[in-house]
Amino acid sequence: MDQRLQEILSRVQQTASSAADAASDAAHSVGKKTSVLLCVGKMNVQLADLKNEVGAQLREVGEMVYATHTGDPTDSDVLLQKLQVIDGLNARISALSQEIARARGAAVCPRCGHIGEAGDVFCRSCGEKL
């Protein structure tokens, strides 16, 4: 009887150890996923802020163009500087969008930066192999 009890206790111990390992792996996996989601959430907030800034800059450019139309010419250097700021913001938006896509596990084209769909083998924009 003692031998049989020993075997049962040994199996219980092995099962408990396996369950603890599985729980530990699951907790680690959930922790990693949560970290990625938090990071993506922060990047989405940054992305929204950048897009809002582009909108504000575009409104200012529009006001400058309209002022020129109504007879109050805008200095072309000032307008060019605004447009360059917008170009810089759009470049940051593109880079951040690609970073978000990578964090989510999406494929990003190494040639043109287009964000692919799940299962894409080739870029839908330029045809490059992903």
pLDDT in tens, 92-114: 999 999 999 888 888 888 888 88
Q: Which residues contact 55 (CB under 8 A, 6 or more apart)?
A: none
Amino acid present at 78: V
Which residue positions in the chain have pLDDT lower than 50?
A: none
Q: What is the pLDDT of residue 1?
A: 61
Measure the CA–CA gap between 130 and 120, rounded to whole angstroms.
Answer: 7
Q: Which residues contact 113 (CB under 8 A, 6 or more apart)?
A: 94, 98
Local structure of 72: helix, strand or coil: coil
Measure the CA–CA gap between 17 and 94, rounded to whole angstroms.
Answer: 47
Residue pair 112/128 in contact by the 8 Å Cβ criterion: yes
Q: What is the pLDDT of residue 2?
A: 83
What value does the CA radius of gyration of the chain take, rounded to a whole number of Å? 28
Give the count of beta carbons closer than 10 Å to the beta carbon of residue 122.
13
